[in-house]
């Protein structure tokens, strides 16, 4: 993965707002509540999580497992992997 793209993704994760993530969820048909999104944003904001590296992927998956459940977290992980392959 191109390190420039990685940095852009990390920066976006660090600065994403509840409203932005809620809009993305709606756009992609992901069923989550606003309170779940609030918790996710709170836990990833300014944490420099790199979802392209195993350690960052593990951290992000743990957060998603705890906030939205393992089934939805697994689905989101697959969607992200497909997106990353297209970059």
pLDDT of residue 87 exceeding 80, the answer is no
What DSSP string describes 20-67?
A: HHHHHHHHTT----HHHHHHHHHHHTTS---TTSHHHHHHHHHHHHHH
Q: Tell me the pLDDT tens digit for each residue of 3-38.
A: 998 999 999 999 999 999 999 999 989 999 999 999
- The per-residue pLDDT of the chain, averaged, comes to 92
Task: Say what the pTM is.
Answer: 0.86
Q: How confident is the model at residue 1 (pLDDT cuts 50, 70, 90)?
A: low
Q: What's the average model confidence in pLDDT over 70-84?
A: 89
Domain span at 70: 3-86
- Split into its structural domains, the chain has a count of 1
């Amino acid at each position: 993965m191109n390190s420039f793209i990685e940095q852009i993704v990390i920066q976006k994760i660090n600065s994403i707002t509840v409203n932005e993530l809620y809009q993305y969820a709606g756009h992609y048909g992901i069923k989550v509540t606003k309170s779940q999104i609030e918790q996710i944003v709170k836990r990833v904001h300014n944490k420099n999580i790199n979802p392209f590296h195993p350690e960052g992927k593990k951290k992000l998956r743990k957060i998603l497992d705890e906030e939205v459940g393992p089934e939805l977290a697994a689905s989101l992980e697959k969607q992200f992997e497909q997106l990353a392959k297209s970059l």
